[in-house]
Amino acid sequence: VSVDLSAELGPLRLANPVVTASGCFGSGREIDRFFDISRLGAVVVKSVTVEPREGLPTPRMAETANGMLNAIGLQNPGIDRWLATELPWLRERGVPVIVSIAGKTVDDYRRLAERLRDEPGLLAIEANISCPNVEDRNIVFACRERSTHDALSQVTALSRVPVFAKLTPDVTDITAIARVARDAGAAGVSVINTLLGMAIDVRTRRPKLAAVTGGLSGPAIKPVAVRAVHQIARALPGLPIIGMGGVRSVEDVVEFLMAGASAVAVGTATFANPLAAIELVEGLPGWMADHGYTSVAELRGARSLPAPAVR
């Protein structure tokens, strides 16, 4: 049985629905040592900022039950150097690239969108408006409708490629933020970013992260992510969703598609296995054939889902 793995992500058509989660794949070079990364549906690169950033002090990582906390603080070479060193390599390798951008201010998003405007070979922009590891929680744009609109509209006004808004689950109603993102011109949303978390070493009585708090990722957060995707898919039918959060197995990919995602991102699983993303691309057709599916489109949405009790 031949299986059609291609995925419609709004205006984009991907070779398969498996993409990488920003911040878990660098810009691809390191993982390309293990497999040909151009075989993925898309590579969403680590967030790039206007200026280079050195990030937060160490320790930056703590493993937790079925998950991990990280507080990197957006360490990256800055947009100028990223465009000079990373994008040409990705283009040359024929990798479908979604560039993730992050800003401290609304104006940062404008400047980043402007810098990317005339760059050929980009599939889309992901506006990371939800990084939890910033000096000031007040600048997590995606925590508020107003700031979501202000940051995103800068990008959508300038971009020639589709813009996806990366949202945080740390809000009362993620569908309200998703609606604002759509109305600000976003082609779709990427859900979810990490949840803000914390762990304390009880022997030393110190927080396990130098930054005290950090983003929780891994299988521990998957039910939260599936819920968020499902809520947005029901509230805003037709808005393309890149679903992510704890994806590790082919069944996880299928679950996110059934929740309403059009593409599924692999994040922390790559830390545990550098081949995680490509193993899902390779494993998906067999699972689909075994279960009587011939296309990714058939996997989208779940059967007879009752309306969520609480919205």
Partner 1 sequence: VTPATSPEAPREPLRVDGEVRSVRRRGPYVALTLQAPAVAERCLPGQFVSVGVAAVATLLRRPFSIAAAEPAGGGVEVVFDVVGPGTAWLAERRPGEPLDLVGPLGRPFPAPPAGVGCVLVGGGYGAAPLLYLARALADGRRPVALVMGAASAARLLDPDAAERALPGGVVLTTEDGSRGRSGRVTDVLDALLDDTEAGVLYACGPMAMLAAVARRAHTRALRCHVAVEEAMACGVGVCMTCVVPVRGPEGVRNRRACVDGPVFDGADVAWDALGTALSAPPTGALRELRP
Q: Please give the residue ranges that form the binding site for partner 1 (CB under 8 A).
A: 23-26, 29-31, 33-34, 46, 51-63, 65-68, 70, 72, 75, 77-78, 80-81, 85, 210, 218-219, 268, 270-275
Is 131 a residue of the active site? yes
Looking at beta carbons only, is 168 or 217 nearer to partner 1? 217
CB of 289 to partner 1, least distance (A): 25
User: At closest approach, how far in Å is the CB of 278 from partner 1?
Assistant: 11
CB of 296 to partner 1, least distance (A): 26
* Annotated catalytic residue within 12, 124, 131, 142: 131
What minimum distance in Å lies between the beta carbon of 18 and partner 1? 16
**Which CB, 53 or 166, lies closer to partner 1?**
53
Output the DSSP codes for the chain. Answer: ---B--EEETTEEESSSEEEPTTSSTTSTTGGGTS-GGGSSBEEPPPB-SS-B--PPSP-EEEETTEEEE-----B--HHHHHHHTHHHHHHTT--EEEEEE-SSHHHHHHHHHHHHT-TTEEEEEEE---S-SS-GGG-GGGSHHHHHHHHHHHHHH-SS-EEEEE-S-SS-HHHHHHHHHHTT-SEEEE--PEEEE-EETTTTEESSTTSEEEEESGGGHHHHHHHHHHHHHHSTT--EEEESS--SHHHHHHHHHHT-SEEEE-THHHH-TTHHHHHHHHHHHHHHHTT--BGGGGSS-TTPPPPS--
* Residue with smaller CB distance to partner 1, 192 or 209: 209
Q: Which amino acid is at 162?
A: P
Longest dimension (CA), the chain: 58
With respect to partner 1, which residue has the nearer C-beta, 46 or 149? 46
Min separation Cβ 120 and partner 1, Å: 23
Identity of the residue, 21 or 143, whose beta carbon is nearer to partner 1 in the bound complex = 21
Q: Which residues are annotated as catalytic?
A: 131
